Amino acid sequence: MPRVLVIVPNDSYRVADFAAAAEALSVDLAIASEERPPLRPDDRFVEVDCADPVGSADAIVDLASRSPIDAVVSADDAGVEIAALASAALGLPASPPSAARATIDKASARRLLGAAEIPQPEYRLLGPEDDPAGAMADIGQAVVVKPTMLSAGRGVIRVDTPDAAAAAVDRIRAIVRAAGRDESAPLLVERYVDGPEISVEGIVWGGEVEILAVLDKPEPMSGPYFEETIFVTPSRHPEAVLAEVERVTASAVHALGLTEGPIHAELRIDAGRPMIIEVAGRTIGGLCGRALRFGLLGAPLETVVLRHALGMRKESMRRERSASGVLMIPIPAAGTLRSVVGIDEVRSHPGVTSVEITAPIGTEVAPPPDGDRYLGFVFARADDPATVEETLRWAMATIEVGVG
């Protein structure tokens, strides 16, 4: 039986989805994490330190010497470089470590995309001694300031005037410090792109980019903070725009040097022109992948990832015919989660396929730009994307979250 090692964050709610996909494929699943999951035996677990990619990759190689591993996959950004390093050491197909590293370092990604002339926002790097207002003045309009190494909207702030730039930078550096990262690292200052945002899921087979799904984000993403709420697929943008989205995404993947594995891209449509915001070497975050099903049997996204990792024969992975989507339940304020009301009513809606609350009552929660965890997810399906969006908007209005 082939064995796949999946690198997951502590307390990840994605382990169950990978475990189910592994069981369906008759694959043995091993886990790498900074904390041991319950009841995981020694030959199916390795402790890693995501702040030490090289040491973590060595630990995986050591496990493989005792219990062979056929593929290494990362469920989120923190493990992408570890997976690439371990795969390279074990001689397993994967993107080069340098490419994996570029996907989690937004400054490196911007340089590589710029060198390849991929459409992206104008940007500047802002060091700790640099003047935020001056960097903003160079770009000449509203900007988005963000850390180079965080994800899920954490530390991302829109700034509209030079007078507000210094305060935003101070807040972002405090968020970086709270995340255990180097607060003196450069920040990115990017031109704010005033257009609809979309997400692209894909997988790279031997350098060939296959687009699996394009998801619209119908809720405005105008800032000053960027909490994601609703994703709906298929996209309702014109076919010509979507064709350009696929072309630009594939070009960005190649520019970053990614050759194998899943990719998740974020783009803005600027007056009909797709612009790359970022490309990650992993699937969509949280449980959002549950909104997607592929092939004749409706395989989940994790099955596609495991099939690729094990070099299984490439099959048609066309997304299901029905429209689908997911609501990431918004967090109204920072504090202690006291209640989530309306879940039973939402579950009973005929268009809702499932509801998952991932933050237990009593959890400390915070919306972006301070937080990066999700409260829960609502999934919906229908014959058309407009109906899916309507269902998810109704769910968002129905669920009441109490934070105190």
pLDDT tens for 63-115 read: 999 999 999 999 999 999 999 999 999 999 999 999 999 999 999 999 999 99
Q: Same domain for 98 and 127?
A: no
pLDDT beyond 80 at 40: no
Segment 168-173 shows an average pLDDT of 96
What's the Cα-to-Cα distance from 192 to each of 76, 276, 309, rounded to whole Å?
26, 12, 36
pLDDT at residue 253 in the model:
98
Residue 335 located in a structural domain: yes
Segment 154-160 shows an average pLDDT of 96
Q: How do 28-33 and 45-47 pair as beta strands?
A: parallel
pLDDT beyond 90 at 37: no
Residue 58 located in a structural domain: yes
> Cα 276 from chain centroid?
14
pLDDT tens for 187-216 read: 999 999 999 999 999 999 999 999 999 999
pLDDT at residue 36 in the model:
77
Q: Of 191, 214, 232, which closes a domain?
A: 191
pLDDT beyond 80 at 11: no
Enclosing H/E stretch for 77: none
Residue 57 located in a structural domain: yes
Residue 256 pLDDT class (50, 70, 90 cuts): very high
Helices (H) and strands (E) in the chain, counts: 11, 21
Task: Provide the residue count of the chain.
Answer: 404
pLDDT beyond 80 at 236: yes
pLDDT at residue 296 in the model:
72
CATH code where residue 36 lies: 3.40.50.20
Residues forming beta bridges with residue 263, ordered by sequence position: 202
In sign, the C-alpha dihedral spanning 156, 389, 329, 32 is: negative
Structure tokens at 309: 């990792």
259, 89 Cβ separation under 8 angstroms: no
What span, in angstroms and rounded, lies between the C-alpha atoms of 285 and 262? 12
Structure tokens at 305: 């990832």
Residue 242 located in a structural domain: no
pLDDT at residue 41 in the model:
67
pLDDT tens for 285-337 read: 989 999 999 987 789 999 999 999 999 876 667 899 999 999 999 999 999 99
CATH code where residue 172 lies: 3.30.1490.20
- Residue 386 phi, psi dihedral angles, 5° rounding: -65, -40
Q: Of 44, 71, 102, which closes a domain?
A: 102
- Torsion angle of alpha carbons 74, 43, 18, 349, nearest 10°? -130
Residue 39 pLDDT class (50, 70, 90 cuts): low
Residues forming beta bridges with residue 33, ordered by sequence position: 47
Domain count, the chain: 3
Q: How do 123-126 and 28-33 pair as beta strands?
A: unpaired
328, 374 Cβ separation under 8 angstroms: yes
User: Could you tell me the pTM of the whole model?
Assistant: 0.95
Domain range enclosing 186: 122-191
pLDDT at residue 314 in the model:
66
What's the Cα-to-Cα distance from 254 to each of 53, 96, 251, rounded to whole Å?
23, 12, 5
Q: Same domain for 138 and 179?
A: yes
pLDDT at residue 318 in the model:
84
Angle of helix 106-115 relative to helix 97-104, nearest 10 degrees? 110
Residue with tokens 């400054």: 107
Which amino acid belongs to residue 297? L
